[in-house]
Amino acid sequence: MSQKIKFINTNKSEFFATVRKRVDAYFKESGISKNGNLLMWTKAIFFLVGFFSLYALILTGWLNSYAMVIAAAALGAFAAFIGFNICHDAIHGSFSGSSKANKGLSYFFYLIGANPYLWNISHNVVHHTYTNIPGHDEDIEVAPGLIRLDESEKVNRIQRYQHLYAFWLYGLASLSWVLRKDYVKFFQKKIGQHSAKHPRREYFNLFFYKILHYFVFIGVPMLVLNLAWWQAAIGFLVMHLAEGIVMGLVFQLAHVVEGTDFPVPTEKGNVEEAWAVHQMRTTANFAPKSALASFFLGGLNRQIEHHLFPKVCHIHYPAISSIVRQTALEFGLPYLENPTFNSALKSHYRMLRTLGKEAYAVQESSRGKVYPVAA
């Protein structure tokens, strides 16, 4: 993590300058803002109303045990949708043209148990710069020792089965985030190449809003519904498992599918291609024609457009995608895309199997051992 990474535009690519010029022209000629519109605000209201309605329904005590579990899972899914559709754009500064509005909307991240300050560093700064670079992009460090995404990493025996258990581990993503991840990132010396020297107020924000989250989703149900601690804990667990599955799958299908690269820098720390070209090789879209995917996933099914234009609200990604695709074609660059969610899921499964079971067989055969890949 100490190695400094630099993008060296060895081929003098004009791709990004060209595609940015064309996208800017689209907004200017259309006379529309790059920020959110009425539909964007309507989506935000829909997900917030849905979330708080589910929470209120749970607190009424009208539901039986099975219905409570279903409601808790639905609450977790809506938490993920709030993250995708509101907080993600707000923290990127693309939801609204007002910085105050964006900051206010980013506070909903606290509601779902995450920290917007840390997310800005780890996602906006680190992930968006060093996408899919092992040892630098912490978003691909899902479960070190259990999930292998780095081809240079030795395969252990457990990782032979990662294509079978990885999807279950994704369910723990939100739980890890709310109980461990933010604390670890906050107190480590660096996040990627970013020196972690935090303002004093962020120490307060970290602990205050975490404790508030635990109280709202464990303490309040215990007080209002007279639940035992373990019953409230089960509801909390179910909520975050559902949230984690939704989040984990969406993020993995954008960067860990067949065709995406995991570039290894030179000894000097150089990635010998332009940053925008790097994004085209490490990022993929999925289900681009699905209205449901676009509505619920906050444009994250169009990660190519998002990585190139994070300051453009996701509501505009369908309109600019044809510009990006055509420009990529002109410059001979890949435009990776899985037509459906299922095809992306299958591609991710095959990728996990290739980096796990098949890589282990190759590794063992080099040692003179025979390992049946098809088993």
pLDDT at 366: 76
- Going by C-alpha positions, the residue among 51, 53, 104 that lies closest to residue 78 is 51
Report the chain's C-alpha Rg in angstroms: 21
Listed in sequence order, the residues at least 6 apart from 101 whose beta carbon sits closer than 8 Å to its beta carbon are 90, 95
Amino acid at 181: K
The per-residue pLDDT for range 141-164, each reduced to its tens digit, is 777 788 888 777 889 999 999 999
Listed in sequence order, the residues at least 6 apart from 316 whose beta carbon sits closer than 8 Å to its beta carbon are 27, 32, 34
Strand, coil or helix: 6: strand
CA 210: distance to chain centroid? 20
**Domain segments of the chain as ranges:** 6-364
| CA atoms of 260 and 355, how far apart (whole Å) | 13
- 299: alpha, beta or left? (left if phi > 0; alpha if psi -120 to 50): left
pLDDT at 369: 62
CB distance 251 to 177 below 8 Å: no
The per-residue pLDDT for range 30-59, each reduced to its tens digit, is 999 999 999 999 999 999 999 999 999 999
| CA atoms of 266 and 206, how far apart (whole Å) | 37
Other beta carbons within 10 Å of 291 = 9
| CA atoms of 47 and 50, how far apart (whole Å) | 5
For the chain, which ranges sit under pLDDT 70? Answer: 1-3, 368-375
CB distance 16 to 273 below 8 Å: no
- Read off the DSSP letter of residue 286: E
pLDDT at 2: 54
Cβ burial, residue 313 (10 Å; 0-12/13-18/19+): buried
